[in-house]
Amino acid sequence: MNQIDLAGQHAVVTGGAQGIGLAVARRLAASGAAVTLWDLDADMLQTARQTLSGAGVQVVDITDAEGVVATLARTEAEGGPVSICVNSAGIAGPAAPLDAYDLGWWRKIIDINLNGTFYVNRAVVPGMKARNYGRIVNIASIAGKEGNPNASAYSASKAAVIGLTKSLGKELAGFDIAVNCITPATAQTRILDQLTPEFIEYMRVRIPRGRFLEVDEAAAMVAWLVSKENSFTTAAAFDLSGGRATY
């Protein structure tokens, strides 16, 4: 494992109790960063904390804009200013054709994947601007580039995260703040529990690598993106699709 120097940095990772978020948190901690995990699941947060010595934890609903601001205040009071933010919280939702898609699920997926990401970015940016330093990585998806059939809500939410990232990266280009996103193919995480075996196989066979993404592979890319070495690239989408992406 390459050693990324994140000494002196404080990272918040949303969705940090499991999956890609937890893998990212482990990698950032191994690189010297202080890490605070944000997640809605209090029990899983405590389990994750036991495997990540020294990490802080905060129970937060990222769809609550005011709650996000309050959680950031608690996080910084306990661990110091946040200089790194990785937005990994998200859900896939059920698979269904658009004309039959449940409206409640549509709203929930957009609220968590897009609005929640917006609220967290909105909360951390002012402090980063004031200190003229920050690194933000938003977890999008290959579905945001290509669109997955029977996953209109998820595909739309992740396409919007890519657009948000590009917009914010340009806004902050005059600061030493890098805002990027990654567009992973499907990873072997609990998010697959929400999908049918047929849909899971549909996604696997479209990956030229012939397998799903390993969460540590995502963490390795994120670790560089949030480092001081990434001093130029911003407003970009980094591919993690195993060759599936067409652009």
Catalytic residues: 154
Cβ(135)–Cβ(227) below 8 Å: yes
Cβ neighbours of residue 187 closer than 8 Å, sequence gap 6 or more: 19, 20, 212, 213, 214, 215, 218
What the block records as the tokens of 82 is 């946040």
Dist CA 47 CA 49 (whole Å): 5
Q: Strand (E) positions, the chain?
A: 10-14, 34-39, 56-59, 84-87, 134-139, 177-184, 237-240
State the Rg of the chain over Cα.
17
Could you tell me which residues are beta bridge partners of residue 178? 135
Residue 173 burial (10 A CB sphere; 0-12, 13-18, 19+): middle
Distance CA 77, CA 84 (A): 16
